[in-house]
Amino acid sequence: MAKELELKLKEGDQAPNFTADTSGGGRISLSDFAGKNVILYFYPKDDTPGCTKEACAFRDSYHKFQERGAIVLGVSPDAVKSHDKFATKFKLPFTLVADADKRIVESYGVWGDKVFMGRKYKGTHRVTFLIGPDRRIKRIWPKVKPEEHTVEVLAALE
């Protein structure tokens, strides 16, 4: 079993800004969403079982996030081309952020040691940050169950 990820960011900290390419050929910065709640969810890899469940759960609840004025951004180290295929295949209505150089996952402290089937490797941990309108981190979910997670995040927006 891998050692639990020790996050370097805490609730109340200023969320690190970033600028990156996105699905659909866009480019965004976290600062573009000043004044809004942002759900920044990190996931390991496009079109894998857990990541697909999580993305589809955000998709299925997307209208509820919109009603609350919240922005949903999914981040993984996959390239834009992979994000575009994933978003199209599962009709994802929110933006996927490409972090191929791993600057975002490293700045948020979600890149680290993992173990799968006895094999150790470096990868992205499934962690979600709720960032407030002032760009402060309001809530962190360091352990995410892909199917149930959106319910927790929606509750935190109430």
pLDDT digits (tens, 9 = 90+) for 3-43: 457 788 999 999 999 999 999 999 999 999 999 999 999 99
Spatial separation of the C-alpha atoms in residues 28 and 152, rounded to whole Å: 26
pTM of structure: 0.94
Among 2-6, 46-50, 131-135, where is mean pLDDT lowest? 2-6
pLDDT of the residue at 133:
97
Are the beta carbons of 140 and 128 closer than 8 angstroms?
yes
Catalogue the active-site residues.
51
Q: Is the pLDDT of residue 124 over 50?
A: yes
What is the rounded average pLDDT of the residues 65-80? 97
pLDDT of the residue at 47:
94
Are the beta carbons of 43 and 54 closer than 8 angstroms?
yes
Q: Which contiguous run of DSSP H or E holds residue 89? A: helix 80-89
Spatial separation of the C-alpha atoms in residues 129 and 35, rounded to whole Å: 16
Phi, psi of 66 (to 5 degrees): -65, -45
Are the beta carbons of 30 and 15 closer than 8 angstroms?
yes
Q: Which of 37, 11, 9, 32 is nearest to 22 (CA)?
A: 32
